């Protein structure tokens, strides 16, 4: 394999999503995020002075939470915020992984095993092969129980994995839901987000990101 390089990913996203600030180096992100949301039809009712102020305050809080949730490894993040009534439902973190010389077959198997070891129990992992603009992808769904006792709430981790041999890198797109109902409700939206991931192999090789696209820095 070649030496690790950050894959030049672009993520096309729709009006359910908002690209997050995971780097913490854009002081005006909350204002720009507010402007992007208010440009969408479902947010038209917030186009007042008070509505804009409340939304900007929410985006400032969201920026802090996004940086904490994404961690140091994330190169991009996308907030699931479908409407004013729904609010923020979760955040996807997109993180590159150095394959450290592993070949493609080893990378798929090793990373899936690291993400969800095959352990006996009530919550077996569910792995599905998907096709995306960036190529082959594996979707991993893994249920988990939070807290102690027999009535523990069950949530779900959902991850999408790509392996890019030319870059000696893999990419993970991950999100967690504390409720199985919420995980099931937003699964199609997540699949659509994953389907919109593509690799900009060379400058000018593709159509370029539009207003609903996010790029790896």
- Tell me the Ramachandran region of residue 11: left when phi exceeds 0, alpha when psi lies from -120 to 50, beta otherwise: beta
- Out of 2.40.50, 2.60.40, 3.40.91, 3.40.1000, select the CATH number for domain 9-203: 3.40.1000
Detail the DSSP E strand segments found in the chain: 9-12, 17-19, 76-80, 90-98, 126-132, 135-145, 154-164, 169-177, 197-199, 213-215
- Indicate the domain borders of the chain: 9-203
H or E segment and range at residue 62: helix 49-70
- Contact between 194 and 160 under an 8 Å Cβ cutoff? The reply is yes
Torsion of CA 52, 176, 211, 10, to 10 degrees: 150
Reported as a single tens digit per residue, the pLDDT across 5-43 is 889 999 999 999 999 988 776 678 999 999 999 999 999
User: pLDDT, tens digit, for every residue of 83-94?
Assistant: 999 999 999 999
* pLDDT exceeds 50 at position 153: yes
190-213 residue pLDDT tens: 999 999 999 986 444 444 434 477
Q: Is the pLDDT of residue 149 over 50?
A: yes
């Amino acid at each position: 394999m070649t030496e690790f390089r950050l894959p030049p990913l672009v993520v096309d996203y729709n009006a359910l999503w908002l690209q997050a600030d995971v780097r913490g180096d854009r002081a005006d992100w909350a204002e720009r995020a507010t402007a992007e949301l208010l440009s969408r039809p479902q947010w038209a009712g917030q186009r007042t002075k008070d509505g804009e102020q409340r939304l900007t305050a929410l985006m400032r809080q969201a920026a802090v939470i996004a940086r904490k949730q994404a961690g140091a490894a994330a190169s991009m993040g996308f907030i699931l915020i479908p409407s004013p009534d729904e609010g923020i439902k979760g955040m996807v973190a997109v993180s590159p992984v150095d394959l450290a010389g592993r070949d493609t077959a080893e990378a798929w198997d090793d990373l899936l095993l690291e993400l969800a070891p095959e352990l006996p129990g009530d919550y077996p992992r569910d792995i599905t092969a998907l096709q995306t603009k960036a190529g082959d992808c594996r979707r991993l769904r893994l249920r988990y129980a939070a807290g102690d006792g027999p009535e523990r709430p069950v949530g779900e981790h959902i991850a999408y994995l790509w392996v890019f041999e030319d870059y000696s890198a893999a990419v993970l797109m991950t999100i967690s839901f504390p409720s199985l109902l919420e995980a099931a409700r937003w699964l199609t939206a997540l699949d659509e987000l994953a389907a919109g991931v593509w690799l900009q192999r060379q400058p000018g090789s593709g159509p370029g990101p539009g207003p609903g696209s996010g790029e790896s820095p």
